[in-house]
């Protein structure tokens, strides 16, 4: 089915046969994500793995993430940390049970995931006040809702500058908070003198920063963009 959403031609795939054509036979033709006005701010022009346009840069980033960040060897190096965080969760639940209070397991598991991810990507856990007064969860939710909300400016480019829904303004504010946080993290890693600690994802990416001896041509913006999407 062919539709036109504003000025954007859109195809609705509604059968298994058509889906095979789009997702398998002609996969490379339709592999790129659309350029989204709101997403470009927090993803630094869509330089991360999820929203980057299909091409040499996307293939290079995917290779780096697969081989250098998400390999079984790298993931296994954090096994001790994961056990430590899981034990903290169990002790927290035990304390709640002993005190006779209700335990919100959804919140506990969400916090466990966030803490593990923080330690794997950034090397340590960060308190909400170190990020922003609104906290990790609120800002992350704001970012994801803004990216997922259909933006009139994406479908009618002529009115994009008006920002009628206020989405671009909101995303710029969110992006400013995340950018300051990631800059702080990168600076902490650059200045760190502890050679014995387990290298986290930011450490790995920093080893390629400005290097001419590797195919991974990476800069601070790309490190921040990739860190954001891994954390999400």
162 has pLDDT over 90: yes
Q: How many domains does the chain have?
A: 1
Q: Is residue 36 part of a domain?
A: no
CA-CA-CA-CA dihedral for 209, 44, 110, 88, to nearest 10: 20
Q: Is residue 4 part of a domain?
A: no
If you average pLDDT over residues 187-211, what whole number do you get?
Answer: 83
157 has pLDDT over 70: yes
Query: Of 203 and 210, which is predicted with more confidence?
Result: 203
The residue range of the domain holding 63 is: 41-231
- The band of 213, judged by pLDDT with boundaries at 50, 70 and 90, is low
- DSSP annotation of 35: P
199 has pLDDT over 90: no
If you average pLDDT over residues 204-222, what whole number do you get?
Answer: 81
> Which tokens go with 46?
């869509």
Per-position b or e across 170-202, b if 16+ CB within 10 A of its CB: bbeebbebbbebbeebbeebeeeeeeeeeebbb
Q: Is residue 73 part of a domain?
A: yes
Nearest to 229 by CA among 72, 61, 107, 86: 61
80 has pLDDT over 80: yes
Q: Is residue 28 part of a domain?
A: no
Q: Is residue 45 part of a domain?
A: yes
| Residues 7 and 159 sit within 8 Å (Cβ to Cβ) | no
Q: Is residue 7 part of a domain?
A: no
Q: What is the pLDDT of residues 107-144, one digit of tens each?
A: 899 889 888 988 888 888 877 777 777 777 788 888 88
In whole angstroms, give the CA distance from residue 126 to residue 154.
35
Q: Is residue 24 part of a domain?
A: no
As to burial, measured by CB atoms within 10 angstroms (0-12 exposed, 13-18 middle, 19+ buried), residue 12 is exposed
If you average pLDDT over residues 188-216, what whole number do you get?
Answer: 81
84 has pLDDT over 70: yes
| Residues 227 and 202 sit within 8 Å (Cβ to Cβ) | yes
User: Which of 22-26, 163-167, 193-197, 211-215 is least confident?
Assistant: 211-215
- Give 3-state DSSP helix, strand, coil % of the chain, rounded to 5: 60, 5, 35
CA angle (59, 65, 69) in 5-degree steps = 165
In whole angstroms, give the CA distance from residue 143 to residue 203.
25
- State the pLDDT at residue 132: 76
Q: Is residue 25 part of a domain?
A: no
Share of the chain above pLDDT 90, in %: 25
pTM of the predicted protein model: 0.80
Query: Of 88 and 195, which is predicted with more confidence?
Result: 88
In whole angstroms, give the CA distance from residue 132 to residue 216.
31
Q: State the average pLDDT for the chain.
A: 87
Output the domain CATH number for residue 81: 1.10.630.10
- State the pLDDT at residue 187: 92
């Amino acid at each position: 089915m062919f539709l036109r959403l504003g000025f954007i031609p859109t195809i609705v795939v509604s059968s298994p046969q058509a889906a095979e054509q789009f997702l398998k036979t002609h996969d490379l033709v339709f592999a790129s994500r659309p350029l989204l006005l709101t997403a470009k701010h927090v993803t630094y022009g869509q330089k991360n793995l999820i929203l980057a346009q299909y091409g040499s840069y996307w293939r290079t980033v995917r290779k780096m993430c697969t081989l250098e960040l998400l390999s079984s060897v790298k993931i296994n190096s954090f096994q001790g940390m994961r056990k430590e965080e899981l034990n903290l969760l169990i002790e927290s639940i035990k304390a709640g049970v002993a005190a006779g209070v209700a335990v919100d397991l959804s919140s506990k598991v969400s916090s466990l995931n966030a803490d593990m991810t923080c330690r794997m990507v950034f090397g340590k856990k960060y308190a909400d006040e170190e990020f922003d007064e609104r906290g990790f969860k609120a800002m992350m939710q704001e970012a994801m809702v803004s990216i997922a909300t259909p933006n009139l400016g994406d479908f009618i480019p002529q009115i994009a500058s008006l920002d009628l829904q206020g989405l671009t303004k909101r995303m710029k504010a969110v992006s400013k908070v995340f950018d300051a946080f990631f800059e702080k993290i990168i600076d902490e890693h650059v200045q760190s003198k502890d050679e014995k600690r387990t290298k986290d994802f930011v450490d790995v990416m920093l080893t390629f920063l400005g290097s001419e001896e590797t195919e991974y041509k990476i800069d601070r913006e790309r490190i921040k963009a990739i860190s954001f999407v891994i954390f999400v």
